[in-house]
Every structure is written in C-alpha cells, then in structure tokens.
Amino acid sequence: MKNKLLPFLLVGAAIGALISLADKNTRQSVASKSKEVTHYVKNPKEIQEKLNASSVEPSKFDSLKEEVSFWKETIEEIRRNNPELERSIVNAKDTLVENFKDKKDKNK
C-alpha cells in the first residue's frame, strides 16, 4: 500500500479512543450511550415515535420566522395607517444622526 495516511489515521484514532477511556466519566458515558443505542436497535419503533413526536413541535427557526413576520406586518400596517408618524420618526432619526456626527466632529 503506497498511501499510509488512512491506516495510520485509523490506528491513531483507535489509540486516542483507548487513552480517553482511561477517564472514569468517559467510560461511564460511553457505557450509557452504548446501552441506549442497543435499546433502540432492539426497539426501532421507539426511536421512530420519538423522532415523529419531536417533528410535530415547531422548530425555533420557524418560531423566530413567524415572530419576525408578525413584527414586519405590524410595522407595515403602522406605516400605512400613520404616514405622519413615520415622517416624525424619520425626522427624529435624522436629527439624532446629525447630533451624533456633530459631537463626533467636535471631539476630533
């Protein structure tokens, strides 16, 4: 075999795994996870039910997306119904930006 990277990589990984098992917490964690995997191998329907149950709940991304959409629609509605308020807010923002620039220029 000309390329010895893969065999040495696997040997190194195996040695690293064995060394990490010297720690008691790691051994207990590996044993616990192994039992869990074995349980699900013997009872595949349980893992299917668990996955299906979790997919029914809305994801955090979907919740955030809905929240952003709600606020976007609310702001658009305020803009449509109160153009005067929008102008006042824009003017206030412009005034603050100008004041900030003026203070920044004075500090130079």
Instruction: Specify the pLDDT at position 57.
Output: 65
Question: Which tokens sit at 1?
Answer: 């075999």
Do 30 and 21 meet the contact criterion of CB atoms below 8 Å apart? Answer: yes
End-to-end CA distance of the chain: 68
Interhelix angle 24-42/44-56, nearest 10 degrees: 100
Question: Which tokens sit at 66?
Answer: 């809905």
Spatial neighbors of 85 by CB under 8 A, at least 6 apart, are 78
pLDDT tens sequence across 15-69: 999 999 999 999 999 999 999 999 989 988 988 888 777 656 677 888 899 999 9
Do 40 and 47 meet the contact criterion of CB atoms below 8 Å apart? Answer: yes
What is the residue whose two structure tokens read 């590996």?
30
pLDDT tens sequence across 89-107: 889 999 999 988 888 777 7
Report the greatest alpha carbon distance in the chain: 78
pTM over 0.75: no
pLDDT tens sequence across 67-79: 999 999 988 888 8
